Amino acid sequence: MAPAAHSTPISVLLPTALVERRRLMEKLRANRHRRLVLVSAQPAYDDILAFYGRVFQEQAADIETIAVTAGAPDAARAGIARKEGFPLVVPAELPVDLAHAAALLLRLCQAVQGATPPLKAAAAAIRSAIDDNRLNPVEMLEARRDENPERFATLAAELDVPLEVLAFFADESLAPSLVAGRRQVAGHRREDVARDQGYCPVCGSAPALGVLEEDGRRFLICSVCRQRWRVRRVRCTACGQTDAQKLYYIYSEEEPAYRIDACDVCRHYVKTVDRRRLARPFYPPWSRCSPFTWTWWPPKTS
């Protein structure tokens, strides 16, 4: 199965203080006031950055050295995909170097300083099971990759690791292969033509994050292969609604560059970074899993 967009509960990924703060904010949300302030995650940034920073460093090194061979789709298929707005491939067609991913998994499980206790506990359980030959990391990654949710769930239960936490480690370990494969499949694909589709033009997966560039162009970033593609600015990427009265944005008052783009018709929403308001360098992997991103909630509509 394609690695899912991050679905790990924030209680696992974030320190307790942040979770409590989020609960408080959820109570406030009951007021259904659209201009509610989003939670402040600043106090915990340093610790969390220490952990995710190492994850990103390990992944970046892998992306440059990994050797996957993804066959680019033939011209006819690529032409149809482009004309009809279909993705070039399905996620299963993006090749994965499982041995490389397994090695990365081990490194990620050793790089957990600063991570939350549930992540540390899971990393220790995974390491121990690999050391004792109770877990074959390649098989585990295959199960995650090959649409085998039952097998993957069984492995999580055997390890006594929450399913979503095992998925987090598996997905982050598979990511460098998927990015390297996507680069081969997509080639020099232009990203600057605005599409109507809310799914990835390369692999068809859902976006993990939206980005509003300084010049006002709007992009989405794929949750699986991390391809970036342009979409129309005033259009729901799920149902196609273009009536500006039915599309709205919720900006954070504490992190003014972060906002939710939401649709009143289908209730779909996309977490978005507005680079026009961003005072620091933009690093998509961090924005994707920053505490702030995790603590956003589906907006209520009145």
State the residues that interact with Zn ion by CB under 5 A.
200, 202-203, 205, 222, 224-225, 227, 236, 238-239, 241, 263, 265-266, 268
Q: Which is nearer to Zn ion, 116 or 223 (CB)?
A: 223
Distance of alpha carbon 219 from alpha carbon 42, whole angstroms: 26
Q: Which is nearer to Zn ion, 174 or 225 (CB)?
A: 225
CB of 45 to Zn ion, least distance (A): 28
Q: Which is nearer to Zn ion, 89 or 119 (CB)?
A: 89
Contact 38, 30 (CB under 8 A): no
CB of 227 to Zn ion, least distance (A): 5
Q: What is the rounded (10 degree) CA torsion for 229, 234, 240, 242?
A: -160
Alpha-carbon Rg for the chain, nearest whole angstrom, is: 19
DSSP 220-285: EEESSS--EEEE-SSS-TTT----GGGEEEEE-SSSTTEEEEEETTT--EEEEEEGGG--S---HH
Contact 207, 222 (CB under 8 A): yes
Cα 169 off chain centre by: 12
Q: Which is nearer to Zn ion, 16 or 242 (CB)?
A: 242
Q: Which is nearer to Zn ion, 125 or 236 (CB)?
A: 236
- Please report where in the chains the tokens 């109570």 appear, as a residue: 27
Q: Which is nearer to Zn ion, 5 or 265 (CB)?
A: 265
Distance of alpha carbon 51 from alpha carbon 273, whole angstroms: 22
Distance of alpha carbon 78 from alpha carbon 72, whole angstroms: 9
CB of 180 to Zn ion, least distance (A): 13
Q: Which is nearer to Zn ion, 103 or 238 (CB)?
A: 238
Token digits of residue 235? 């259009």
CB of 158 to Zn ion, least distance (A): 31
Token digits of residue 127? 């390491």
CB of 143 to Zn ion, least distance (A): 21
CB of 222 to Zn ion, least distance (A): 3
Helices marked H in the chain: 10-13, 16-29, 45-65, 75-84, 98-110, 117-131, 137-145, 149-159, 163-186, 284-289, 291-295
CB of 71 to Zn ion, least distance (A): 16
Q: Which is nearer to Zn ion, 50 or 239 (CB)?
A: 239
CB of 217 to Zn ion, least distance (A): 19
